[in-house]
Chain A
């Protein structure tokens, strides 16, 4: 619950930064904060009360369910949100690096990083 609230507040802070600031690098920092907030939201949903990590070692109790002697582990955290967030973190890094490469090229062309100076396509 605390983690969920922290994630939502980070998302709002990131979007506010992207909308209000004028420096290109600050907008990219805001995008990175938004990304972290979304990942925290997804991981917070997958928590099971008093659950342990989704690795099956000697400490996890195995049990049999009702239908025909299946063996499942009890009380471990949902593994699917962890797997999705793993992918999302690496993709976030790749997209941030690409955005920063674009920022460097824009600076070398125009000499400034303020988005008010790029006004070729304003109508």
Chain B
């Protein structure tokens, strides 16, 4: 029962981060929110008993994808409105 509550809580955080990432004004905030989506997805994978997938998603999604987006933003030098 407690596992179900934890899964519902994590899924809510994931979907709220997705909504924030879509509707915010600055692109930098959207990139950080997509990092939070990957982080909560990694914890969800751990609760569904898939540890290999959780490790891969944590390093690649919450690590390298966010860093690659930030390097691109630095090279593009935009102000960040849609």
Contact = CB atoms under 8 A, between A and B. Distances in A.
Interface string B60-82: 11001100110011011010001
A10 B37 CA distance: 10
Nearest to A52: B49
B41 A36 contact: yes
B65 A96 contact: yes
B48 A89 contact: no
Contacts of B73: 25
B65 A32 contact: yes
A118 interface: no
- Most chain-B CB neighbours within 10 Å: which of A28, A30, A82? A82
Contacts of A40: 41, 44-45
Nearest to A89: B56
Assign chain A's interface to a size class.
35 or more
Interface string A51-77: 111110000000000000000000001
A111 to B, nearest CB: 10
A2 B7 contact: yes
Contact of A2 (B8, B19, B52, B60): B8
B64 A2 contact: no
17 contacts: A3-B48, A6-B14, A16-B22, A21-B82, A25-B72, A26-B82, A29-B69, A32-B34, A33-B18, A33-B37, A36-B38, A39-B57, A77-B49, A86-B53, A92-B60, A103-B72, A107-B75
Given A100-B72, A107-B78, 14 more contacts: A9-B18, A10-B15, A26-B82, A28-B69, A29-B34, A33-B18, A36-B61, A44-B48, A85-B50, A86-B53, A90-B60, A96-B68, A100-B69, A104-B72
